[in-house]
Amino acid sequence: MTNVPSGAAIPREIHPDVLALVRHFEGLYLKAYLCPAGVPTIGYGHTAGVRMGQTITSLQAEVYLRADMAEAARDVDRLVKVPLTDRQRGALASFVFNLGAGALQSSTLLRLLNQGDHKGAVAQFGRWVFATVNGKKVELEGLKKRRVAEAKLFEAG
């Protein structure tokens, strides 16, 4: 039995389906590269403190992924005011991991969700398929596929 202080919340794990989704869309890179937005990235989309030329092991990539997703899930927990299943929370954590908490915070998706309009919120995932590449806003096929997968995971509850 875990000894948890009185009043402390037990952290929720990231659903395995969500980790699989993020692994699939991010891909595993053991050597740092520049993502389409020009940010040094390694592992499964990890960017914090990454330097070009850096290399890691697959175990370190998994550690980064779990830490990054836990941070994204904390942002979801802070922003969402309605109950979520683990898959719904995870789909939103994938969204935040990919786009940042600010994108969710200012989104119609969050506003509709917090109003209890799950169906309306699901319809908003597909609006988030653009990235700035070489200074231009472009629609990316990979983002379209990722948003569809996140929306399906969210709907599956």
Residue 5 lies in a domain: no
Q: pTM of the full predicted structure?
A: 0.89
**Amino acid letter at 10?**
I
Residue 26 lies in a domain: yes
CB 30 within 8 A of CB 53: no
Output the domain CATH number for residue 122.
1.10.530.40
Residue 9 lies in a domain: no
Number of domains in the chain: 1
Q: pLDDT tens across 13-66, in order?
A: 899 999 999 999 999 999 999 987 789 999 999 999 999 999 999 999 999 999
CB 43 within 8 A of CB 23: no
Active-site residue among 35, 62, 71, 155?
A: 35
Give the domain range for residue 31.
16-156
Does the annotation mark 35 as catalytic?
yes
Does the annotation mark 155 as catalytic?
no
Residue 1 lies in a domain: no
pLDDT of residue 149: 98
Tell the residue number behind the tokens 């070009």, with chain if given.
Answer: 52
Count of positions (residues) in the chain: 157
Residue 6 lies in a domain: no
